[in-house]
Amino acid sequence: MKITNLILITAIFTVTAITSFAADPVGTIVSLTGKATATAQNGESRNLELKSPVLLNDRIKTDAAASLQIMFLDDSVVSQGEKSEMTIDEYVYNPKVKADNKCTLNLTKGAFRAITARITALNPDRFKVKTRMATIGIRGCELAFTVSQTSENIYVLSLPDGKSINVTINPDTAAGMNLTGVVNKEAAIEILQAGTMIAIQEGEGITQRFITPQEAVDLIEQLTAPDGPAGNPPPPPDENTSAIIETVVSEITDLANQELLEDIQQDILTELQNLPPETVETAETILEEVISTAASLEYTQLGTGTDWEWGVWALPAQPPQMADFIGHAVLTPGDVASLSIGLQRFLMEGPNTATAAIIKYGGSSYYVDGNCTAQVMIGMGSGNSWQVVGSAMDTGESISLNYLFEGSIVGGVLVADPIAGGNYTLTGIGPGYTEADINTQTISANLTGTGSVNPPTGIIGHFTITHDGGATIVTGGFGADLGGMP
């Protein structure tokens, strides 16, 4: 792992423009390491320098060991790592007419970081990032992206309350994926929580989970220039740099302990010791954005199963912010696939169960928990399926969540079906909701156990369901031991 030079923005300025034509600057290079070029729509290419203007329809490319930052007219900032390519397809900044404002960036390859500003405040639905596989609608936040030929990752680093990220899978990409239970009918998924990552794998599907500290470090690596400008090796760290290093390492160490990722601590310490001050400050800034919430949250275990546990995350003296179900021995897709085609067939049902969720409605959060029943049928090569039925209430028993999630087991992966009629109710919140009121649903499940021969010991999963266009959010999980006879 190698973390290297990224120059922070030190110039702060404000420019007002009405409409940007192809020859009008839409932004300025405010940080540059190594070699980068801009190719205009007519094919003419120019070398970029610090303070170079960036124009509409420019295709921005960075060489190996290069990185840059662009500040746009509305103060949005885009960072671009080495060997990356981006085109500015649309850009209009007009503070006098809200409807005119728009920005579309087309990311071809590489690593990027975007911090949106005034355009998303003026016209929230018109700031978009496009890739080959997806279109991402940004409504005021900070994101990072890694784009390659076969995979694309979207990292939500910062997302203010009430804002959201919409990821729509492009039709050609969606046609080759199994998206059942992951996205809505428009092949779209709504991200409502910072610290979330969406991974799109061509020909396979989409996964959604939390960003790990290791991924935060990898983002820094990809958004910086590996060797710095030719002939200018990084200077040795001074006392101020050493103090910053200690702070960063301490923060990462705290989070690594929480997430059982102690193995990355020494690597981080070793790499940061040889960096110049501005790079360490950048590392500190990016990492703080990712880990600040996690570092403040406290985890309380509330129950266990054979190979899993569950609990809640909360700020000190505050209600739960997240319900988490953790598998200590999660079966790999290979193990599950082997069980699916094995000569034994297992019909398993679950005692020792739990389910819990956080419901966000009207600016407030409500916590509910309860029990669930689970059933898994696996083996003999066909008819492999799973089902979880859950019921949860708040302490006053005025809010009630009831659901039935089910699906098939395909290629070693538990795939969720769309929630069927009569299989979902949420009462005691607003007008009350059923499956007919669901805007988006994301349901994931995994089996726990000891390998590809023995029957699974349990099932755990997580779900996010939205109503009212994303204003009402239900996010939680479930867990159950599995027992039974072949």
Q: What is the CATH number of the domain that holds 66?
A: 2.60.120.1440
Q: Are residues 288 and 306 both part of a single domain?
A: no
The whole-angstrom separation of Cα 86 and Cα 57 is 10
Which among 36, 81, 62, 70 is positioned nearest to 222, based on CA atoms? 81
Q: Are residues 276 and 359 both part of a single domain?
A: no
pLDDT mean values, one per 10 residues, the chain (486 residues):
27 30 77 92 93 94 92 90 95 90 95 88 89 88 89 85 81 68 58 81 77 70 54 43 50 44 47 56 56 65 91 82 83 83 72 86 90 88 87 93 92 85 94 93 88 84 88 91 68
Which among 358, 310, 243, 256 is positioned nearest to 458, based on CA atoms? 310
Q: Give the pLDDT score at 18.
A: 32
Longest dimension (CA), the chain: 73
Q: Are residues 219 and 327 both part of a single domain?
A: no
Strand segments, DSSP code E, in 351-394 are 353-361, 364-378, 385-393
- Look up the domain containing 429 and give its range: 298-481
Q: Are residues 331 and 447 both part of a single domain?
A: yes
Q: Is residue 401 part of a domain?
A: yes
Q: Are residues 332 and 476 both part of a single domain?
A: yes
Q: Is residue 385 part of a domain?
A: yes
Q: Are residues 21 and 64 both part of a single domain?
A: yes
Q: Are residues 24 and 80 both part of a single domain?
A: yes
Q: Is residue 50 part of a domain?
A: yes
Q: Are residues 55 and 168 both part of a single domain?
A: yes
CB neighbour burial string for 178-187, b if at least 16 within 10 angstroms, e if fewer: bbebbbbeeb
Q: Is residue 24 part of a domain?
A: yes
The whole-angstrom separation of Cα 224 and Cα 82 is 7
Q: Give the pLDDT score at 480.
A: 92
Q: Are residues 183 and 225 both part of a single domain?
A: yes
Q: Give the pLDDT score at 479.
A: 93
What is the total count of domains within the chain?
A: 2
Q: Is residue 12 part of a domain?
A: yes
Boundary (domain end) residue, out of 239, 269, 296: 296
Q: Is residue 268 part of a domain?
A: yes
Q: Give the pLDDT score at 225.
A: 52
Residue where the block lists tokens 């819990």? 356
Which among 348, 211, 178 is positioned nearest to 290, based on CA atoms? 211
Q: Are residues 98 and 85 both part of a single domain?
A: yes
Q: Are residues 360 and 310 both part of a single domain?
A: yes
Looking from the CA of 188 toward its CB, the CA atoms found within 13 Å total: 16
Q: Give the pLDDT score at 19.
A: 37
Boundary (domain end) residue, out of 253, 271, 296: 296
Boundary (domain end) residue, out of 248, 277, 296: 296
Q: Are residues 325 and 442 both part of a single domain?
A: yes
**pTM of the predicted structure, to 2 decimals:** 0.51
CB neighbour burial string for 149-164, b if at least 16 within 10 angstroms, e if fewer: eeebbbbbbbbeeebb
Phi (first) and psi of residue 123, to 5 degrees:
-145, 80
Phi (first) and psi of residue 253, to 5 degrees:
-60, -45
Q: Give the pLDDT score at 195.
A: 77
Q: Give the pLDDT score at 210.
A: 76
Q: Give the pLDDT score at 263.
A: 42
Q: Is residue 486 part of a domain?
A: no
Q: Is residue 218 part of a domain?
A: yes
